[in-house]
Chains A and B, each alone.
Chain A
Amino acid sequence: MTCFADTPSTIPAAAGVGLKGQHVADILAAGEDADAQPARWFEVHAENYMGAGGRPHANLTAIRERFPVSVHGVGLSIGAERGLDPDHVARLAEVVKRYEPGLVSEHLAWSTHDTHYLNDLLPVPYTQATLDRVVSHIGHVQDALQRPILLENPSTYVRFETSTMSELDFLAQIAERSGCGLLLDVNNVFVSATNHGYSPDDYLDAFPLDAVGEIHLGGHAEDADDLGDPLLIDSHDREVIDPVWTLYERVVARTGPRPTLIEWDNDVPDWATLADEVRHAATVIARTAGEGGDVRAA
């Protein structure tokens, strides 16, 4: 079985950022200047590089020549009842072959149904049937890519009455049975914990951190449900909030430095603003390493 824990990665246990086309010129112009360009690696959404040619590929090729890159899929629909789309798995394999990413990740979610693609990360009930299906799908993907993937914990807005196990149990069993690693999105933990009324600290205390190959940090929007209870939305359109930074600091205090990504996908700011967020993550990582944290994830 493909196993994440036994697979070395070229992604450093350092801060990276989601690559946006409008920042490529700034990134390349900064060269080796770590003040102007603090990101040590870049992540791309796989689906944006499934076209034949043109500027997206020119940009990513230029970045890949200088930095490690990770590939984050958003369209594989690993939780779909209808099964994986073999054409899309093949397209993902092509992107992976072309760019040789240090990490490949996807979501615990579904987004396809029959012939429809819904362009959102939709939730799954935590049942034995879902678990079996997700493990089987991850196995297919890992076989096709000839490498392990990371699976990301979701932001959710609803719960299912049909769930029979906790999200933590579900994720831990997926990792154990499929051999995949986990991508821990700390903002998603905060969003889901707030939306469903549990403690994000308790959740993270019980999270199988040994399986975590990458951490995501992003911003969320605040709303309220019909009863006025808080309803946070994983919008990736602003800075990471302080309570999420605090959760992140607690995680890396336990794990030591891990590859950490700033995600900002909507209302994308200028490079200087994004670089500040990257610098914040880098500072937390450096402090942890300075305190003798575990650096094996490098």
Chain B
Amino acid sequence: MSAPRDGLDGRHGQDAFVSALLEPEAAVPDDIAPLRDGTPANKRFTVYRNNVVLSLTDNLRAAFPTVAALVGDAFFNAMAGVYVREHPPTTPLMMDYGSDFAIFIEGFPPSASVPYLADMARLEDARRQAYHAADAVPAPQAAFQRLQGADAEVARLVLHPAVRLISSRFPVFSIWQRHHDDDARALPDGGEDVLVVRPQLDVEMYLLGAGEARFIAALGQGKRLGEAARDAGPNDGFDLAAAIARLIRAQAVSAIEV
């Protein structure tokens, strides 16, 4: 028996195997041995098909538990199944898989009845990124005393590598809390800005006030304190002292360069 030229003679080789894996109705590739009665090894091949879809779906469920809870397992499995087939991973790093799940959800018509679902996926992806981010020691509270001098305006606050910001026109922080803390309080109207941090090993979140997300984003772009405060300034109610106090409490800054 001579080996076929992979992928050229009929449906052979890894091209054919992958095509058949990702299409539930596709025939078993031609180079797979049939069963003892000569019929195609459908159920045997389906083990691989199921392994791919189910293992990737389980990975998504582990990474996006609140998204899954909001829509229920049946809906989540169906949605993840479509995503997995249309967007298989591009690297073996499962900790990165689903980084564009939120974009997919936005364009997935059946999820339109849960309009905040995509932003919840963004929040959970941010939490996962923070969980795996590089380690860094947060700047101690004493370091912030340097901001009381005349140079404060030009100081740079270096954000901790785990810091992520999520701005939503929905109350995603409150919805997340309600699912994790059994908090039955009514959801607020309007959107929420969330600061995600991981000072040591545990991921934490803070609900931000007016202009704070813009302020922290500006710091993240390397802008000096004065400029970052001016970026946030046009928003009614931005309070620079409160914003700095929150960064201290959240341990979101790893260095202060004056």
Which residues of chain A have a CB within 8 Å of any CB of chain B? 47-48, 50-58, 74-77, 80-82, 85, 87-88, 91, 110-120, 122, 125, 127-129, 157-162, 164, 195, 223-227, 229, 231, 233
Contacts and interface: CB of A to CB of B under 8 A. Distances in A.
Interface stretch (B28-36, B148-156, B166-174, B212-220): B28-36
Interface in B3-33: 3-4, 6-7, 12-15, 17-18, 21, 28, 31-33
19 contacts: A48-B94, A54-B131, A75-B92, A81-B7, A81-B13, A87-B91, A116-B89, A117-B89, A119-B51, A119-B94, A120-B52, A157-B47, A158-B32, A160-B31, A161-B32, A164-B3, A225-B43, A229-B35, A231-B44
A62 B126 CA distance: 26
A129 B56 CA distance: 30
Interface stretch (B65-73, B100-108, B109-117, B132-140): B132-140
Contacts, number: 145
Given A157-B45, A158-B28, 7 more contacts: A47-B92, A51-B133, A74-B92, A116-B18, A117-B90, A120-B52, A161-B33
A195 B56 CA distance: 25
A225 B43 CA distance: 5
B133 A162 contact: no
B53 to A, nearest CB: 9
A95 to B, nearest CB: 12
A95 B13 CA distance: 32
The 7 closest A-B pairs by CB, nearest first: A75-B92, A51-B132, A53-B135, A52-B134, A120-B51, A159-B33, A117-B89
A118 B35 contact: no
B134 A231 contact: no
Nearest to B15: A113
B254 interface: no
Interface of B: 1, 3-4, 6-7, 12-15, 17-18, 21, 28, 31-33, 35-37, 39, 41-45, 47-48, 51-52, 55-56, 59, 88-95, 131-135, 161-162, 198, 201
B123 to A, nearest CB: 18
Given A127-B3, A162-B12, A117 B92 contact: yes
Contacts of B134: 52-53
A125 B6 CA distance: 11
Question: Which of the listed residues A85, A88, A111, A161 has the most CB atoms from chain B within 10 Å of its own CB?
Answer: A161
A182 B10 CA distance: 34
B137 to A, nearest CB: 12
Nearest to B46: A157
Contacts of A115: 90
Nearest to B135: A53
Given A122-B48, A161-B31, A225-B35, A51 B14 contact: no
Contact of B33 (A54, A85, A160, A164): A160
A80 B150 CA distance: 61
A118 B18 contact: yes
Contacts of A57: 135
B92 A88 contact: yes
A113 B132 contact: no
B91 to A, nearest CB: 6
B44 A225 contact: yes
B158 to A, nearest CB: 16
Contacts of A122: 14, 17, 21, 48
Contact of A118 (B15, B32, B43, B88): B88
Given A47-B93, A54-B201, A157-B45, A125 B31 contact: yes
